[in-house]
Structure 1
């Protein structure tokens, strides 16, 4: 059903996205026109059309340059990815996939690797047989100028990603759950927060001798401290540990769902505040228009959407 006042997508020319991207990069209508080999009047007309369709100024001249509005800042990561995907589509239609031979290095956590690797390998075999993958573990605080050239894509929580100067796109959102052995009578739904915190917890930490994780950083601010009896460097080991002991663990919901196929576990919503986990892809600007890289990002987005299908 079409919502009242909703723009009809048939009115939206895909070339308008190229104009939006060019002005975003150049911050100047004349320079954008040169980059697209169009007249300045044509680019100005396209900008006016964008403003009409989006009900927003899109870019505003301050006397020196065209500054993006808040809406444009919000939309540009998706716009850039759409343009890259369109180029990849045309590239594949002209047989580019048949000649693509690339080895991508993807830096992420072991549990994200477990979630995506099988589906991604299937897509590679069907669509990009010349592509191979190296998944490696790395912490965002280890991102340096010497490391970045060796990594083609990061998949990390949005709040720990140092993304200045890099491209980002949302991949999926997850909610944390608490898991324990199915016969662990101490772990029950709607238990009191103090009782929950007093259970024997095992958890993930990226730093030895400290509690350093997405969820723990939130708890520190609230003054919440679970009774940690052990910490591990990866979430993927936690289901096997709690299934064989009286311990419990906070893990991402998708990991818990997958682990329940292999271990006798139960999961409850934690009775203490735990922020949702938003996972993003991060990559270098030089790779944004690379059609094989764009295919990789699109394949990951498709797989993430299938999680909730």
Structure 2
């Protein structure tokens, strides 16, 4: 408490503006204050945190490691203080808010188009910042306060995290139609004899397809591992490669006409696509609204 008494709330607001803008003049404009006043506040903050916070490199100011550490808890604290001064309700039509989301290439493909359409209609001043990462990285970012919401598959989240299922997903295979039998399907032995494409952020990690093969005592050859779905179609057409991916990542409207979609020749366990958040967000009306939007667009689309 003694440390808190030393801090003026205006100093925290100034710190946030400086860390976001990484520029004294722009921070001053953002705060509607003079540049000398912001420079003086920066000097106070440097003394308070015993760290330069912003250092000049290559002609511009850069955040120190300590400043980067301060950013997530500072943003959380300011949002919670703001919540004390406003009604507990949330009016999306009038709100100005930015949410930080993390999801895979698959999540972005299936969720972002309908979600953005809804947000542009209901909350035109609500912004999204979307990043990508592995499952483990996204969960870690939730715990550290670096993101507000994660979208993906989270079978064993930490105790302080909350999850909600959005839909169940299954798998399909894609291959060049001219390299398939007339019936357009492959037996398991023929499927295993072909080289495969794997779409995964971390190729060495377990996935549902190779787990299903392991239960049969089988293993496929992965000739190409990619972190993004976007280029996968382009590398399959005209080759003997096979891609096995989540059904909703495939769209007949945009599928290369040279490719054919067919059922896998083995049973692959379906997975639940989820949203995950930290328990500290439970009381945030705006966050609850966003989660409801995600649930609604998934239900209406899928």
The verdict on a shared fold, with TM-score over 0.5 as the criterion, is yes
Out of 242, 245, 258, the residue aligned to residue 248 of structure 1 is 242
Change (3 A) 1:274 1:174: same
Q: Over residues 193-230 of structure 1, what are the superposed CA-to-partner deviations in whole Å (9 max), with x where a residue is unaligned?
A: 1111111211123335x354333234334422112211
Alpha-carbon separation, structure 1, partners of 2:275 and 2:287: 12
Out of 251, 254, 264, the residue aligned to residue 261 of structure 1 is 254
Which consecutive aligned stretches of 4+ in structure 1 deviate over 6 angstroms post-superposition? none
Alpha-carbon separation, structure 1, partners of 2:142 and 2:180: 50
Change (3 A) 1:187 1:302: farther
Contact 1:168/1:281 (CA < 8 Å) preserved in 2?
yes
Alpha-carbon separation, structure 2, partners of 1:125 and 1:186: 46
Contact 1:179/1:250 (CA < 8 Å) preserved in 2?
yes
TM-score, normalising length: structure 2: 0.63
Change (3 A) 1:145 1:263: closer
Out of 88, 109, 113, the residue aligned to residue 118 of structure 1 is 113
Contact 2:184/2:260 (CA < 8 Å) preserved in 1?
no
What is the Cα deviation at residue 292 of structure 1?
1.6
Contact 2:195/2:240 (CA < 8 Å) preserved in 1?
yes
What is the Cα deviation at residue 244 of structure 1?
4.2
SS of 1:183's partner is: helix
What is the Cα deviation at residue 234 of structure 1?
2.6
What is the Cα deviation at residue 180 of structure 1?
1.2
What is the Cα deviation at residue 240 of structure 1?
2.4
Indicate the residue corresponding to 2:95 in structure 1: 100
Q: Over residues 130-154 of structure 1, what are the superposed CA-to-partner deviations in whole Å (9 max), with x where a residue is unaligned?
A: 2111111111222437863011111
Structure 2, unmatched stretches of 5+, are: 1-87
Indicate the residue corresponding to 1:156 in structure 2: 152
Alpha-carbon separation, structure 1, partners of 2:152 and 2:214: 21
For residues 273-292 of structure 1, the aligned pairs below 5 Å read 273-292=267-286
SS of 1:206's partner is: coil
Indicate the residue corresponding to 1:83 in structure 2: none
Q: Does 2:213 align with 1:219? A: yes
Q: Does 2:228 align with 1:230? A: no
Indicate the residue corresponding to 1:4 in structure 2: none
CA RMSD, Structure 1 to Structure 2 (Å): 2.4
Out of 174, 178, 186, the residue aligned to residue 183 of structure 1 is 178
TM-score, normalising length: structure 1: 0.62
Q: Over residues 97-116 of structure 1, what are the superposed CA-to-partner deviations in whole Å (9 max), with x where a residue is unaligned?
A: 24322111111101211222
What is the Cα deviation at residue 260 of structure 1?
4.8
What is the Cα deviation at residue 189 of structure 1?
4.8
SS of 1:172's partner is: strand
Alpha-carbon separation, structure 2, partners of 1:147 and 1:239: 35
Q: Which has the larger radius of gyration?
A: 2
SS of 1:235's partner is: coil
SS of 1:164's partner is: coil
Change (3 A) 1:217 1:185: closer
SS of 2:280's partner is: helix
Out of 184, 189, 192, the residue aligned to residue 194 of structure 1 is 189
Indicate the residue corresponding to 1:44 in structure 2: none
